[in-house]
Every structure is written in structure tokens, then in C-alpha cells.
Amino acid sequence: MSFKAFWVEKAEAGFTRQIITREEADLPEGDVLIDVQYSSLNYKDGLSATGNPGVTRQFPHTPGIDAAGVVIESAAPEFNVGDEVVVIGFDLGMGTAGGFGQRIRVPASWVVSMPDGLTPHTSMILGTAGFTAAECIQKLENNGMTPASGPVLVTGATGGVGSVAVKLLAQLGYSVAAVTGKPEREAFLTSLGAESVLSREEAAAGADKPILGECWGGVVDTVGGDILFNAVKSLNYGCSVAACGLVASPTFAANVLPFILRNVNLLGIDSVQLPLQEKAAIWQRLGSEWLMDLGALEEVLTLETLSEAIDRILAGQMVGRGVVHLQG
Ligand SMILES: NC(=O)c1ccc[n+]([C@@H]2O[C@H](COP(=O)([O-])OP(=O)(O)OC[C@H]3O[C@@H](n4cnc5c(N)ncnc54)[C@H](OP(=O)(O)O)[C@@H]3O)[C@@H](O)[C@H]2O)c1
């Protein structure tokens, strides 16, 4: 059967994007064929669509690291035709044709049954970005963070990971400070639950100092660079930063003082290779005790509007979550 897919090709002048018709038979081998109803746009999809070799090496290619929909063929006993499922990470949208197509075929070991409380649509308002926000908060809490630890800083706050992190932290009773490069979006951030809003310049001030005054009971960092290590330098005693992103820089200048004087932790976050059981457990939380009303975060995208949104996410201009509606 044929289906529509976003298609990135390598040409002499660079990478081109178009929508083409593909056949199910062209998809890779796999246990589960999924009718993709929704996908979502993540920063990494922008990197894939522009040929970043750290994400995708083989072209032509269909990006889309997220997909949610219904099983239409299954060789795996744990999935039946008609089951609603969600797939994020692993090789989806990187080396394997991804969620920016109306069909994916993937190994069963990448697939999570849709938890009660979520639907293909709401799971993709979260997508990898929202899932990663939850993963950051879970790891911070596993390392001792509570609302009594102090205010929690979220960087890249209007973006996908950042906006869901602000919303979830506020819902869990944390006082949230949001860092943004979009001062005009302050009302959006306070509507999600941020108590204060800082500029990127404020968050990066003092980068030349070895340590800063104690401010934060925890940090969700999506940007890296000076803002990340400033956050480490201004943690309250014994508190932690969860580092998941690199939109400002993959590197930062560090010193050991915060670690040996303040007993703080820099925690790494990866959502891609996280074992399936742990992924499923976080999806369960997102469908139950961590269920959020995320409607205000959604920007509706289609395959036809995706290319322009890819340019915006790469320029740091997206706000909230771009959800790709693949039906129709
Ligand atoms: N480790 C993992 O498994 C994992 C999973 C998901 C995402 N990530 C990473 O997390 C990061 C965020 O992903 P996303 O999907 O949330 O992207 P996004 O929607 O584009 O959000 C990123 C936000 O960062 C801010 N920003 C952009 N450029 C910046 C710069 N030069 N300096 C400081 N801030 C800047 C912007 O927010 P403001 O305008 O509000 O500042 C932007 O909206 C990416 O690096 C992504 O690869 C990692």
C-alpha cells in the first residue's frame, strides 16, 4: 500500500525536502508496521533534515524521531493489530525511516503500548521533548530534588523540552525560573507556571567566575555552554543539574570547585537508548500521576507545513511543541 512521506535528498547544492508517495514494501524489515497518526518536531529532526552526519548518514531519508499510531501488522506476540502504540528514539528517524511518513516498520523492541491516559495525539504533544523533560525531572528527584530544595531553573524554556519541563515542575509544586531568549514570550512562560523569567544574558553572566552564589534547587538544562556551567556554579548545596541539550554549545568551560565545595551533581540525560522498560515506565507516569493538560503547547503541523517549521526550530524560534498531523 502507498503512503505519503517527507523526503530529504542529498543534492549537489545541499539537502532538498519534498513530500513523496512511498510503498510499504520500501520500508525496512521489522516486527511491527504502524499506521502513524501523529509525529512531532524535535530539534534533532532539524539536524537530520539538514544532513547533520551526527544524526543521519544515509540519504534519501524520512526524518521523524517520534511516531504514534495504530499497529496494522505485527509479527511480535506482544502487539496486536489495532493496538495504539508510541515509538520514540532508538534509530527511528535517524538511520530508519521515521515518523514524518504515514507508515513506519520497526523492531518490537522500540515499541511502547500507549499508556492509559494518553492517546496518539497527546503522546505526540509530549514527544521526545516532553518525555525528556520528564526524564530530567525524574532523575533530579531520584537524586534528592524536592520543592523544598529551592527554585528550579529551566533553560531554553520556550522550546519543546523547556516548555514541558516548566509545566510539569509547576504542576509538581516547584517554584520555576525560566531562561529565555524570547522576552516577548514571558506571558506564555508564566501561563505554564514559571514564577520568574530570566534573559539568556542574565543566565550567562559571571561565566568568568569560578563559582557563583547559591540559587537553584535543581536545573533542567537544554542549551549547554556557559549557561549550563553557570547553573552548576549556582546550585544550592547538594543539588543537581540535568543536562540534556546543546542548542547553545556542546562544550563548556568547567572547574571542580562547585563539585568539591558544594557537593553538587551534573547528571546526564539520554532518551534515545534508554532501555525500553524504563521508557515504558516514564510513559506510564506521563499518562497518570504526571498527566498534564498540554493543549496550549501545541502548534499543529502537517507534512506540507513541516519544512518551514524545520527552519524555525533550527533558528531557535519554535515555541512549545510542533505536532505533525499525518492523517488526511
Ligand atoms: N538528551 C536527549 O535525549 C535529548 C532529548 C530531547 C532533546 N534533546 C536536546 O535538547 C535540546 C532542546 O531540544 P528541543 O526539542 O526542546 O528544541 P527546541 O524546541 O528548539 O528548544 C530549544 C530552545 O533553546 C533556546 N535556544 C535556542 N538557541 C539558543 C542559544 N543559542 N542559546 C541559548 N538558548 C537557545 C530557545 O528557547 P528560548 O528562546 O526560550 O531561550 C529554543 O526554543 C536540543 O539540543 C536537543 O537535541 C536531547
Output the pLDDT for position 75: 98
Q: Indicate if 38 and 96 belong to the same structural domain.
A: yes
Helix (H, G, I), strand (E, B) or coil at 107: coil
Q: How many domains does the chain have?
A: 2
- Asked if residue 283 belongs to a domain, the reply is no
- Asked if residue 274 belongs to a domain, the reply is no
Ligand 1 binding site (Cβ under 6 Å of any ligand atom): 42-44, 128-129, 132, 156-162, 180-182, 200, 222-223, 244-248, 269-272, 313, 316, 318
Q: Indicate if 136 and 264 belong to the same structural domain.
A: yes
Lowest mean pLDDT, pick from 11-15, 201-205, 224-228: 11-15
Q: Indicate if 226 and 104 belong to the same structural domain.
A: no
Q: Indicate if 105 and 135 belong to the same structural domain.
A: no
Taking the CA of residue 161 as reference, the ligand 1 atom at the shortest distance is 16
Report the CATH number that the domain containing residue 195 is assigned in CATH: 3.40.50.720
Please name the residue whose Cα sits nearest to atom 33 of ligand 1: 248
User: Tell me, what amino acid is at 221?
Assistant: D
Q: How far is the CA of 76 from the centre of ligand 1 (A)?
A: 35
Q: How far apart are CA 109 and CA 17, in angstroms?
A: 30
Q: Indicate if 166 and 195 belong to the same structural domain.
A: yes
pLDDT in tens, 115-153: 999 999 999 999 999 999 999 999 999 999 999 999 999
Q: Indicate if 42 and 101 belong to the same structural domain.
A: yes
User: ω before 210 within 30° of 0 (cis)?
Assistant: no
* Structural domain containing residue 26: 2-114+294-325
- Asked if residue 37 belongs to a domain, the reply is yes
Which is higher by pLDDT, 12 or 291? 291
Q: Any bridge partners for residue 41, and if so which?
A: 322
Contact between residue 62 and residue 91 where contact means Cβ atoms under 8 Å apart: no
Ligand 1 pocket test, candidate residues 43, 92, 229, most atoms within 8 A of CB: 43
Q: Indicate if 97 and 167 belong to the same structural domain.
A: no
pTM above 0.95, yes or no: yes
- Asked if residue 242 belongs to a domain, the reply is yes
Taking the CA of residue 46 as reference, the ligand 1 atom at the shortest distance is 20
- Asked if residue 287 belongs to a domain, the reply is no
Q: Indicate if 135 and 264 belong to the same structural domain.
A: yes
- Asked if residue 76 belongs to a domain, the reply is yes
**Beta strand spans in 133-243 (E):** 152-154, 176-180, 194-199, 218-221, 240-243
Contact between residue 176 and residue 151 where contact means Cβ atoms under 8 Å apart: yes
Q: How far is the CA of 77 from the centre of ligand 1 (A)?
A: 38
Q: How far apart are CA 282 and CA 304, in angstroms?
A: 32
Report the CATH number that the domain containing residue 30 is assigned in CATH: 3.90.180.10
Quick check: 109 pLDDT over 70?
A: yes
Output the pLDDT for position 328: 67
